[in-house]
Structure 1
Amino acid sequence: MTTLPFKVSAALDRAEIARRWALANEPSPDDSRGPRLPLLLREFLWPVEPLRRAFSKPLDITPASRPKTVMLLPGFGAHPIRMRWMARKLEQAGHTTKRWGLGYNLGATAERFARVEKRLLSVFERAGEPIVLVGWSLGGVMARELAKKHPCKVAKVVTMGSPFSGSPRANNGWRAYQAIAGHRVDEPEIDTVPAQKPPVETVALWSPRDGIVHPRSACGRPGERDRAVALRCSHMGFVLTNEAVIAVLGELDG
């Protein structure tokens, strides 16, 4: 009798693993494709970026004319520590940065979205002013949804390589997403139309060198964002390069 719960639990675990494996191996129901293989392979060179910064001219940070409170939302599979260098540069300019408070971003599940929504409300209450949301990849998609639900509490949304436009499979990470999050990318647990623009100023940073998310998906179409700004970094470079920091600082002062 005492071993039955363990056996049932183990069976359920195996069933869930099998289900997620099947999700990861689903054929794509459309013709959407992620960036080309050479661009994807370049993403694995991201550890070089800190070295490149070390041997390049130091970034000249201009003090912000109007300091903002900024919440940073990491990309899928990423921990907030990946955005720590960017946070330091924003703070050097005089802005106040806040983590999203959830640790690793393992998918836009209903439970995770509810938690980050609670975090936004808490940051807003303490700051006493609308918050700027800066989201990397999936974090940007979630930032857009937060702004749709709470437009009075969000001053602006800046997405960085975020797949909000077109097919949700126009990237090289949708299979991993389905396996880890446990749901299909086109069947989210929250009621959403990703391409619908939030009712606040929304700027999309994108790059033709992105090896994870297709540039058209991250750039979006007119009406899906207010402006699109092209950078020349990799997908990982959105949180690691001087170019990306300069772009975000420009949007915070814009």
Structure 2
Amino acid sequence: MSEVLSSLRENAQTRIELAREPRPEEAAGAPPLRLLLGEALTLAEPLARKLRPPLDIVRSDNPQIVVLLPGFATHPLRMRYMARQIERAGHKVKNWGLGFNMGPSEEIFDHLSSRIDAVHARYGKQVVLVGWSLGGLYARELAKRHPDLVAKVITMGSPFSQSPYANNVWRIYQFVTGHSVAAPPIKANMAEKPPVETVALWSPRDGAISPRAACGLPGERDRAIALRCTHMGFSKSPEAILTVLRELENTSIS
């Protein structure tokens, strides 16, 4: 029992030290704190949704199989509204098959590899990966590992470019995951473009992730599309949802 308690104390101390690390110079590109505070307004989104007319969803002539990957510390339920709108357009939507996204590991990537392989086998066509924030990083890496299974990657506010510290949540990430944001427990080159069509959705109003990190540079993605939502709004903003639907409609399956 004493060994267990000692291990728990050591683990807790490591996480506290990671969360208390000095702010690196590379974090200078993080969004201003006023935008981070603005993320709280997203809590009112369910009420605002009731006050506006339903989204005008056009039935797709090019239905896709879509796998949604949630953001850091979020559950697939946070993307359920987006999933319903995508399904209204005639696409088939699957979640990632796990609960809360509490950080990467090779075990999680093994699960996700099996997940998209099973979805591909069931429907007989390549899937489109739509990843929000950290989920978008998973989507990019999965497409690199399995380009034969993935038709397209759409990231939403995902920090695949620039410094891993160019955001306002790196300390929280390090405390929760127990590892440095600059040293994830997987082999990955975040900025390297997957060998499939890759579209990056980003927003200058993002209060969590640097817009430059989510937009990326030419060569790190095929296209970048600027939206006007908050970081938390990527999964429920009408603008974001309609943009994802347009991208799905314009997806080519090899």
Work out whether 1:17 is the aligned partner of 2:12. Answer: yes
Work out whether 1:233 is the aligned partner of 2:229. Answer: yes
2:118 alignment partner, one of 116, 122, 146: 122
Q: Distance in 1 between matches of 2:135 and 2:205?
A: 19
> What is aligned with 2:173?
177
Please say if residues 24 and 165 of structure 2, whose CA atoms lie closer than 8 Å, have aligned partners that are also in contact.
no
Please say if residues 50 and 240 of structure 1, whose CA atoms lie closer than 8 Å, have aligned partners that are also in contact.
no
1:190 alignment partner, one of 175, 182, 186: 186
2:59 alignment partner, one of 55, 63, 70: 63
User: Which amino acid is 1:19 matched to?
Assistant: T
**Per-residue deviation, 1:57:** 2.5
Q: Structure 1: which 5+ runs fail to align?
A: 1-5
Q: Distance in 2 between matches of 1:73 and 1:31?
A: 27
Q: Per the alignment, in what secondary structure is the counterpart of residue 31 of structure 1? A: helix
Please say if residues 109 and 190 of structure 1, whose CA atoms lie closer than 8 Å, have aligned partners that are also in contact.
yes
Q: Distance in 1 between matches of 2:17 and 2:205?
A: 31
> What is aligned with 1:8?
3
> What is aligned with 2:220?
224
Give the structure-1-normalised TM-score.
Answer: 0.96
Q: Which runs of 4 or more aligned residues in structure 1 lie more than 4 Å from their structure 2 counterparts after TM superposition?
A: none
Q: Distance in 2 between matches of 1:230 and 1:29?
A: 27
> What is aligned with 1:95?
91
User: Which amino acid is 2:8 matched to?
Assistant: D
> What is aligned with 1:29?
24
Work out whether 1:153 is the aligned partner of 2:152. Answer: no
**Per-residue deviation, 1:29:** 3.4
| 1:245–1:211 CA distance, 2 compared to 1 (3 A) | same
> What is aligned with 1:38?
34
Deviations 1:134-160 (A, max 9, x none): 000000011000000000100000000
Q: Percent identity?
A: 55
Q: Distance in 2 between matches of 1:38 and 1:177?
A: 20
Q: Per the alignment, in what secondary structure is the counterpart of residue 197 of structure 1? A: coil
**Per-residue deviation, 1:114:** 1.9
Q: May I ask how many residue pairs the two structures share in their alignment?
A: 249
Q: Distance in 1 between matches of 2:128 and 2:169?
A: 26
Of 105-114 and 157-166, more deviation after overlay is shown by 105-114
Q: Distance in 1 between matches of 2:116 and 2:72?
A: 19
Q: Per the alignment, in what secondary structure is the counterpart of residue 87 of structure 2? A: helix
User: Which amino acid is 2:23 matched to?
Assistant: S
**Per-residue deviation, 1:112:** 1.8
Aligned CA RMSD, in angstroms, stands at 0.9
Please say if residues 46 and 236 of structure 1, whose CA atoms lie closer than 8 Å, have aligned partners that are also in contact.
yes
Q: Distance in 2 between matches of 1:109 and 1:176?
A: 17
Q: Distance in 2 between matches of 1:240 and 1:99?
A: 16
User: Which amino acid is 1:64 matched to?
Assistant: S
Please say if residues 73 and 136 of structure 1, whose CA atoms lie closer than 8 Å, have aligned partners that are also in contact.
yes
User: Which amino acid is 1:163 matched to?
Assistant: P
Q: Per the alignment, in what secondary structure is the counterpart of residue 203 of structure 1? A: strand
Please say if residues 131 and 137 of structure 2, whose CA atoms lie closer than 8 Å, have aligned partners that are also in contact.
yes
2:203 alignment partner, one of 198, 201, 207: 207
Q: Distance in 2 between matches of 1:172 and 1:102?
A: 25
User: Which amino acid is 1:218 matched to?
Assistant: A
Please say if residues 109 and 181 of structure 1, whose CA atoms lie closer than 8 Å, have aligned partners that are also in contact.
no
> What is aligned with 1:3?
none
